[in-house]
Amino acid sequence: MTTSRQDVSLGMPQLPATPYPAEVRARLDADAKEVLARYPGSRSALLPLLHLVQSEEGYVSRTGMAFCAETLDLTTAEVTAVATFYSMYRRRPSGDYQVGVCTNTLCAVMGGDAIFDTLKEHLGVGNNETTEDGKVTLEHIECNAACDFAPVVMVNWEFFDNQTPESATRLVDDLIAGRTVEPTRGAPLCSYKETARILAGFPDERPGAVEATGGAGPASLIGLKLAKGEALPKARVVSPRAGQPRDAQPHDPSPSEHLSSHDAPQQTSASDPEHPAGPAAEEGE
């Protein structure tokens, strides 16, 4: 079951947007002043201001866009062009938790497509639709530069790495039940509106949130370590032809050495007794 859709109407004449109530407007004016002060040119503040209005209503409404246009001396057409270009701005009321399943190529083949199909069926919603209780909006997302932890699910832009259909199902069940869930890395989860305010550039004042932000995970840092000439955990390399490791000392990494699902032992074609020939030969061989 889904909430009713409020489709974006870009071409038809519309009544002027309803203004914010006076106390909301006064609060947003004060916040916007703080945001504008960070930029030499006011129009550069458009992206954070769109996050700010999103933090008010949970999406970028026509009222929010009119506020941005007025504050930055832009036309509503200019604001609309930006708000509809970037996928981090929602254009209709949505859930408290935006559950984005990466279905870009790498995550898709590592299980992202299966996760998305499972959640779609489990929640009874399609892409960009919200559960009837208003808790969860499900959506496909593009690559979030966390391919080394594929397949990745993001909730309000926090990472849940190396997911499976089962773990993702537990995740949405916990969100709907109001149980605490911990992202794999980064700051603790907060509501979509709270996330939007942080993205507008206001400090995350929850105790320990900034410290918890951490940094890149070990799988992401391997390239940096290589560039610095630092020692790496010995990786298992499978020869495409002989089915034998290329390294002189075959190494079977223990589970504790697995930096991500990519490093876990895989049933590759080279090691699969059902397909002893290994991967197809390179062209011309």
* Footprint on this chain of ligand FES (rule: CB under 6 A): 102, 104, 106-107, 143-144, 146-147, 150, 152
CB atoms within 10 A of CB 113: 15
Token readout for 188 is: 């603790």
Shortest separation between residue 124's beta carbon and ligand FES, angstroms = 25
Give the count of beta carbons closer than 10 Å to the beta carbon of residue 70: 13
Nearer to ligand FES by C-beta: 143 or 221?
143
Q: Which is nearer to ligand FES, 48 or 100 (CB)?
A: 100
- Of the candidates 181, 146, 154, 157, the residue with the CA atom closest to the CA atom of residue 260: 146
| Strand 153-155 versus strand 97-102 pairing type | antiparallel
Cβ proximity to ligand FES, 68 vs 153, nearer residue: 153
- The minimum distance between CB 238 and ligand FES, in angstroms, equals 22
CA distance 217 to 148: 9
Q: How many CB atoms lie within 10 A of CB 186?
A: 18
Minimum CB separation of residue 143 from ligand FES in Å reads 3
Residue 62 vs 185, nearer CB to ligand FES: 185
Residue 92 contacts residue 126 (beta carbons within 8 Å):
no
Nearer to ligand FES, 28 or 119 (CB): 119
Identity of the residue, 63 or 261, whose beta carbon is nearer to ligand FES in the bound complex: 261
CA distance 217 to 271: 28
> Counting Cβ atoms within 10 Å, is residue 168 exposed (0-12), middle (13-18) or buried (19+)?
buried
